[in-house]
């Protein structure tokens, strides 16, 4: 089975990445990647300084830049699907997230630092808010957990976590920058992902062009834990929503 080359976790110079969006897209084309997502930080926690995406004007400019690249790819029939993403720091305040972020402007939203059952309740609250706002279900973004660390949950009843991921259709990210998170000591966690058919994806947490195609090791881990079907579920979801996107007016 041939899996697509993808990296759904990339930072540009809108947050702590080194490169412009256009250079990232250009290099991804050269590397023959098939799916990428620009996912800059969104936060008002202690690390708010890492990102410029904290007001509507800059978010609009960021999305506009990605749209221009998306149109360019579509117009030139390139085999690269580019997604408008963002990575929400769950240490941000509820008010900041609800007020500043309109979820239907994005195609992929990552949550970082899901480390407790209290934070699961926080995410549910945010997603419910978005569900009320977004009437057209096709405009609802794909949701994922960025560099999720299983150690916070491994000693608990994993079914509660799995039911949450299943119900809210949130995928688990194999992140090449955090290989310790897919250590065999978490086998029970990965077995549960398989049992519940939770989608899994790959993100390289790229902050420069060199790490854009670091998807090899995560892919090996997906095979090691027999999660190919889970990976397939995510690809199908991305294809269903974004593969045949039309050019949009900017």
Question: Toward Zn ion, which CB reaches closer, 38 or 158?
Answer: 38
Structure tokens at 172: 């688990």
Residue whose C-beta lies closest to Zn ion = 205
Task: Find, among 201, 110, 193, 121, the residue nearest to 154 by Cα.
Answer: 193
CA distance 217 to 89: 25
Least distance from C-beta 195 to Zn ion, angstroms? 28
DSSP code of residue 209:
G
Q: Which of 40, 89, 205, 213 binds Zn ion (CB under 5 A)?
A: 205
40 binds Zn ion, rule: CB under 5 A? no
DSSP string, 73-138: HHHTT-S-EEEEEEEEETTS-HHHHHHH--GGG-SEEEEE---SHHHHHHHHHHHHHHHHH--SGG
Least distance from C-beta 32 to Zn ion, angstroms? 23
- Binding residues for Zn ion, total number by CB under 5 A: 2
Least distance from C-beta 141 to Zn ion, angstroms? 16
Residues 77-96 that bind Zn ion (CB under 5 A): 87
Least distance from C-beta 88 to Zn ion, angstroms? 11
Question: Toward Zn ion, which CB reaches closer, 28 or 162?
Answer: 28
Least distance from C-beta 249 to Zn ion, angstroms? 30
Confirm if 16 and 50 have CB atoms less than 8 A apart. yes
Residues 219-238 that bind Zn ion (CB under 5 A): none
Residues of this chain that bind Zn ion (CB under 5 A): 87, 205
């Amino acid at each position: 089975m041939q899996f697509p080359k993808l990296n759904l976790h990339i930072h540009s110079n809108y947050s702590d990445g080194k490169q412009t969006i256009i250079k990232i897209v250009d290099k991804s084309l050269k590397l023959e990647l098939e799916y990428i997502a620009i996912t800059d930080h969104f936060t008002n926690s202690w690390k708010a300084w890492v990102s410029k995406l904290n007001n509507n004007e800059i978010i609009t400019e960021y999305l506009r830049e990605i749209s221009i690249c998306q149109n360019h790819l579509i117009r030139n029939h390139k085999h690269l699907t580019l997604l408008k993403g963002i990575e929400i720091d769950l240490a941000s305040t509820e008010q900041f997230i609800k007020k500043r972020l309109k979820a239907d402007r994005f195609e992929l939203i990552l949550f970082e630092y899901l480390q407790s059952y209290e934070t699961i309740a926080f995410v549910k609250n945010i997603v419910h808010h978005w569900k009320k706002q977004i009437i057209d279900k096709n405009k609802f973004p794909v949701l994922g957990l960025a560099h999720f660390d299983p150690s916070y949950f491994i000693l608990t009843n994993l079914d509660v976590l799995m039911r949450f991921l299943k119900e809210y259709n949130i995928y688990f990210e194999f992140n090449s920058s955090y290989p310790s998170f897919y250590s065999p000591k978490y086998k029970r966690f990965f077995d549960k992902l398989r049992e519940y058919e939770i989608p899994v994806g790959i993100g390289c947490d790229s902050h420069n062009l060199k790490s854009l195609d670091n998807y090899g090791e995560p892919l090996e881990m997906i095979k090691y834990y027999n999660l190919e079907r889970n990976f397939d579920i995510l690809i199908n979801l991305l294809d269903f929503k974004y593969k045949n996107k039309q050019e949009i007016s900017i």
